[in-house]
Amino acid sequence: MATPKIPLVLATTNEGKAREIRAALRGLPFRVVTLAAIGVAAAYPEKGATFEANARGKGLHYSRKSEFLTLAEDSGLVVDALDGAPGVRSARFSGRGATDEKNIRKLLRLMKDVPPKARKGRFVCRMVLSHRSRVLVSVCGEVRGTITSAPRGKLGFGYDPVFYYRPWHKTFGEIPPGAKNAVSHRGRALAKIKDFLKREGPPPWGRGRASGEGAPLGGNQASRPRP
């Protein structure tokens, strides 16, 4: 008889993010469940000034509502020429009723006079794994690229069609999901989460841990700089 898999709650209502996370965690002894599956309907208000603040807030909020491991993340696009915008407002960049298409249109409009060499940007993903109102680990993944002048490709979601990844000479909108996950900000953060889960094994874990970058903290371990 197969060993039952351990539930792991994804603290997101973004189906694009959920698909990528499910795919990345295949092969581990965890069963990914949604917020709806544990009866949570209300969305957490993301008011943090940083990706880490939002990810921590979501993780702790939803981990209080169940006995399960909870994986929360906050991610977005940081553009140098826009002083870091869209940043933590990436999903809401175009205002009320924001969609991927509207957000991209606003981004390109703001950057229409920015020369090619100044169109640098990066995707940032902060992930937090929590259990019973405790942060177990906090990790960050980043990938750098440039912003195109027009969308290219129909794959992915969010700003993928305008994020040009130079090593592959394609936008993320032109790269198949499996290949993109190997180099993306979310894929890099998930690799650290997977390493933690493999190393620590199934919960429950010892009390008294705080968060670290890719590993549980002892008394002296420090996190990397926040994005």
Signed CA dihedral, 170, 86, 24, 213: sign only: positive
Q: Give me the pLDDT at residue 216, please.
A: 37
DSSP single-letter state for residue 179: H
| Residue 27 C-beta-side C-alpha neighbours within 13 Å | 6
CA dihedral 214, 219, 220, 225 (to 10 degrees): 50
pLDDT tens digits, residue range 170-209?
999 999 988 998 999 999 999 999 999 888 876 665 333 3
Q: Which residues of 48-70 are buried (b: 16+ CB within 10 A; e: fewer)?
A: beebbbbbbbbbbbbbebbebbb
Mean pLDDT of 136-165: 96
Per residue in 27-66, pLDDT (tens digit) is: 888 888 888 777 776 678 888 999 999 999 999 998 888 7
Give the pTM.
0.84
Q: Which residues are identified as catalytic?
A: 74
Task: Give 37 or 11, the one with higher predicted confidence.
Answer: 11
Q: What are phi and psi of 22, to 5 degrees?
A: -60, -45
> Is 39 exposed, middle or buried (CB count within 10 Å of its CB: 0-12, 13-18, 19+)?
exposed
Structure tokens at 33: 């469940």
Strand 69-79 versus strand 30-33 pairing type: unpaired
pLDDT score, position 2 = 60
Per-residue pLDDT, 54:
95
pLDDT at 186: 93
What's the pLDDT score for residue 47? 87
| Phi and psi angles of residue 159, each rounded to the nearest 5 degrees, phi first | -90, 10
Residue 98 predicted with pLDDT over 80: yes
Average per-residue pLDDT for the chain: 85
227 pLDDT more than 60: no
Show the beta-strand stretches assigned E in the chain. Answer: 6-10, 30-33, 69-79, 120-131, 134-147, 163-165, 170-171
Helices 15-24, 185-200: inter-axial angle, 10-degree rounding: 50
**Dihedrals φ, ψ of 137, to 5°?**
-160, 145
* Domains in the chain, CATH or no CATH each: 6-200 (3.90.950.10)
Indicate if the pLDDT at residue 132 is higher than 50. yes
